[in-house]
Chains A and B, each alone.
Chain A
Amino acid sequence: MNIGKFFWYLQRYSALYFLFFLGYLEYLYWSDQLAFDLVTSNLALKVSLSLFIILACMHGFVGLWTVGTDYFTKRTLGFISPRLGSYGDLIRKIYEGFFVLLGMVIVNLYLLTIWS
């Protein structure tokens, strides 16, 4: 599967997953079952929450990558200043790298909290 198709499916299927997962959380909330103990003891919730965190980070990254490749380019930044535009690719790589690291930190923190 090429990357364009992968991103397209990732955004759509992850969004559907978020919808169902939030519905599940709402069910737990309204049936007075939602508590921190449940997050660490219920295997179904642990797995679904872990998947939610991973997919949310991937979904967010694809969105941010799209924004970055629109606005942090030689062309687009060059509208502000040609000098700034010459650093467009570097600025975008730093921007993408920052969110990759941030996503990895978030995923690790949540997985440690859920599974430890």
Chain B
Amino acid sequence: MINVNIYRYNPETDQFPYMQAYSIERPKKDIMLLELLNILKEQDSSISYRRSCREGVCGSDGMNINGKNGLACITPISTAIQKDKIDLRPLPGLPVIRDLVVDMTEFYAQYDKIKPFLQNDSAPPAIERLQSPEDRAKLDGLYECILCACCSTSCPSFWWNPDKFVGPAALLQAYRFIADSRDTKTLERLDNLSDPFSVYRCHGIMNCVSACPKDLNPNHAIGEIKSMLLSNKRNIIASDGVS
């Protein structure tokens, strides 16, 4: 048997959240946690969680699994289970809408703040903006982020200041556009991050790296942004030929 403890909270009926225990026969195959949740939902249809692609692409089913953030759809129960027990909680630090579903407004507000789109004032070429293979390689490890929020919600700096600290996910995306040779707003992007909270609140504890289900390294991207902010930005940009 597997004991699954699930965080339950329905603001319409519950005064406080509580953990509800479920017991389920251990499946013969090593299924994913999301599949286990689907089986549990057949027993208790009131359990709420987000899911969509069931293959680690949409980032909908981010949750706290035995104390560590991850995606339920790509976490096998064999790796999640500890002493025949699995504790499932919502992503920490964000308001709970219901059970494992959190309100991601603050997370998306930070993503919006970094202007996550290519900005280039020059006239658009006939077909596309070209990029050398070397410049394109700089985006590897950055563009793959699926915005599941596992990293940002594992970061204490984001827990305390989600309205001021941009958070690892959005900073990874900020660097994705700063590093893009086709983007010409590098200085503006850096100026937008130069206050004491947006980037400097990262103290490099690397929870984000540990939590990322896509094995990305937001801490490295944040380090690169800090280096650019602390160096003479104009010299760096001129030597890189970015703008």
Interface residues of A (CB under 8 A from B): 2-5, 7-9, 66, 69-71, 73, 75-76
19 contacts between A and B (CB under 8 A): A3-B196, A4-B194, A4-B195, A4-B197, A4-B200, A7-B196, A8-B200, A8-B226, A9-B230, A66-B201, A70-B156, A70-B160, A70-B161, A71-B160, A73-B160, A73-B161, A75-B160, A75-B161, A75-B162
Closest Cβ neighbor of B193 among chain A residues: A4
Does chain A have a CB within 8 A of B37? no
Contacts of A9 on B, CB cut-off 8 Å? 230
A70-B160 Cα distance, complex, nearest whole Å: 5
Chain B interface helix/strand/loop/mixed: loop
Does chain A have a CB within 8 A of B229? yes
Does chain A have a CB within 8 A of B199? yes
A104-B201 Cα distance, complex, nearest whole Å: 26
Closest Cβ neighbor of B229 among chain A residues: A5
A70-B161 Cα distance, complex, nearest whole Å: 7
A30-B49 Cα distance, complex, nearest whole Å: 65
Number of interface residues of B (CB under 8 A): 17
What 10 pairs across the A-B complex have the smallest Cβ distances? A4-B196, A70-B160, A4-B200, A2-B194, A4-B195, A3-B196, A4-B194, A76-B160, A8-B200, A7-B196
A66-B165 Cα distance, complex, nearest whole Å: 12
Interface string of B154-174 (1 = CB under 8 A from A): 001100111100000000000
A4-B230 Cα distance, complex, nearest whole Å: 10
Interface string of B206-235 (1 = CB under 8 A from A): 000000000000000000001001100000
Contacts of A3 on B, CB cut-off 8 Å? 195-196
- Asked if A4 and B160 make an inter-chain contact with CB atoms under 8 angstroms apart, the answer reads no
Contacts of A8 on B, CB cut-off 8 Å? 200, 226, 230
Task: List 11 additional A-B contacts (Cβ < 8 Å) besides A7-B196, A69-B197.
Answer: A2-B194, A3-B196, A4-B198, A5-B229, A8-B230, A9-B230, A66-B201, A69-B160, A69-B161, A75-B162, A75-B163
Query: What is the minimal beta-carbon distance from A8 to any residue of chain B, in angstroms?
Result: 6
Contacts of A71 on B, CB cut-off 8 Å? 160
Closest Cβ neighbor of A9 among chain B residues: B230
Closest Cβ neighbor of B164 among chain A residues: A69
Contacts of B162 on A, CB cut-off 8 Å? 75
Query: What is the minimal beta-carbon distance from B111 to any residue of chain A, in angstroms?
Result: 19
A76-B159 Cα distance, complex, nearest whole Å: 9
A76-B165 Cα distance, complex, nearest whole Å: 14
Contacts of B156 on A, CB cut-off 8 Å? 70
Contacts of B194 on A, CB cut-off 8 Å? 2, 4-5
A76-B157 Cα distance, complex, nearest whole Å: 12
Closest Cβ neighbor of A65 among chain B residues: B196
A73-B196 Cα distance, complex, nearest whole Å: 16
Query: What is the minimal beta-carbon distance from B113 to any residue of chain A, in angstroms?
Result: 15
**B160, B161, B195 interface centre (most CB from chain A within 10 Å):** B160
Query: What is the minimal beta-carbon distance from B210 to any residue of chain A, in angstroms?
Result: 21
- Asked if A7 and B161 make an inter-chain contact with CB atoms under 8 angstroms apart, the answer reads no
Query: What is the minimal beta-carbon distance from B198 to any residue of chain A, in angstroms?
Result: 8
- When the two chains form the complex, which single residue of A2, A66, A70 contacts B195, counting CB atoms closer than 8 Å? A2
